Amino acid sequence: MSFRFAFRPYQRRLRQPLRTARDAQITVRLGIWLRLETDTEVRWGEIAPWPSFGSETLAEAIAFCEAFPPDPEWEDLATAPDSLPACQFGFGCLRESNATDFLPTSAVLLPAGAAALTAIATASPATTYKWKIGLDLESELDLLPQLDRLLPSAAKLRLDANGGLTKAQADRLLQVLTAINERRSGRIEWLEQPLDPSQVDDLLQLVQDWPLVAIALDESVSQLSSLQFWQAQGWPGLYVLKPAIAGWPQTVRQFCQVHHLPVVVSSMFESPIGWRAVAAIAAQLGRADQAQGLGTTAWFTDDWESKTAAALWQHP
Ligand SMILES: [Mg+2]
């Protein structure tokens, strides 16, 4: 079998700037598409780095692609080192026939701050919403009851602090969230990454102290090595898995399955090529009764979601 490899950087504008506790302001998503032609089919992959979550930079990924042979051997597809986890994902996708047909239900991602209130009013009703917090906890605690009132009565809310809270702030927030869940069980589905990944003991303490609110790790488990670390710690909460930056998809998938990890799969503003590969992993690993974190596609204004990989590749 002979292979022909090509890559192409892309950029894609966001409908509105993305702010998180880790990223000041992102207006354009940059990534790389991968194309592999075999004797029988064309396969697609995507490298979608996110350095503030521990992946390589775009420049490092482009350098790897530039050094990659245009007529690779099968073994070459497995040479991306652990320091390039987003490249491992992209090239790992080339090692499998692309699965594209399953679309899991997803949480609606609300913008940070007060903009979430208007976003709820205009979004089509959903079962699960996600709100980014940790930018200004005082005003967020003010907004929370308003958000609670505006949400459909049976909807669930996930809060994502992206590691931006102190331990004292996290305790304060969890007290409020516990009260909400006491009033309406399950309203707060979980609090995601309240503390910085370095605060291992504090994260374990929060789980013990606040049993009525589930806590999920995200930035703490960005790559396979950190996923293995927390599994060994016996983390009793949830794991948010971002396949696009986690490393070899085959290895990550197997680790989660062998250890029966409670996983919620999350996308990272990939283009449809990467997003569909992430959605396929969500279909394999995610719990059927939980919305997966795939609600990033609505953040783009273009019509890329309706395009095939081949049509995207032709994009100017
Ligand atoms: Mg998160």
pLDDT tens digits for 184-195?
988 999 999 999
Q: Which CATH code, of 3.40.720.10, 3.30.200.20, 3.40.50.2000, 3.30.390.10, is assigned to 4-99+304-313?
A: 3.30.390.10
Q: Is-contact 139 157, C-beta < 8 A?
A: no
Do strands 26-37 and 4-18 pair parallel, antiparallel, or not at all (unpaired)?
antiparallel
pLDDT in the model for residue 28: 93
Percentage of residues in the chain having pLDDT higher than 70: 97
Q: Which residues are catalytic?
A: 132, 242
Quick one: 182 exposed, middle or buried, by C-beta within 10 A (0-12, 13-18, 19+)?
Answer: exposed
4 CA distance to ligand 1 middle (Å):
36
Q: Where in the chain is the domain with CATH 3.30.390.10?
A: 4-99+304-313
Q: How far is the CA of 87 from the centre of ligand 1 (A)?
A: 21
| CA dist., res. 82 & res. 303, Å (int) | 34
Ligand 1 centroid–CA 309 distance in Å is 27
Tell me whether residue 211 is exposed, middle or buried, using C-beta atoms within 10 angstroms of its C-beta: 0 to 12, 13 to 18, 19 or more: exposed
Quick one: 108-299 is in which CATH superfamily? Enolase-like C-terminal domain (3.20.20.120)
CA 292 to centroid of ligand 1, rounded, Å: 12
Q: How far is the CA of 156 from the centre of ligand 1 (A)?
A: 16
* pLDDT, average across residues 253-271: 94
Please tell me the predicted confidence (pLDDT) of residue 101.
Answer: 44
Q: What are residue 7's DSSP bridge partners?
A: 34
**Residue 69: pLDDT band with limits 50, 70, 90:** very high
Q: How far is CA 106 from CA 14, 86, 281, in A?
A: 19, 22, 13
Comma-separated ranges of CATH 3.20.20.120 domains in the chain = 108-299
Q: What single-letter DSSP state applies at residue 71?
A: S
Token digits of residue 214: 């589930």
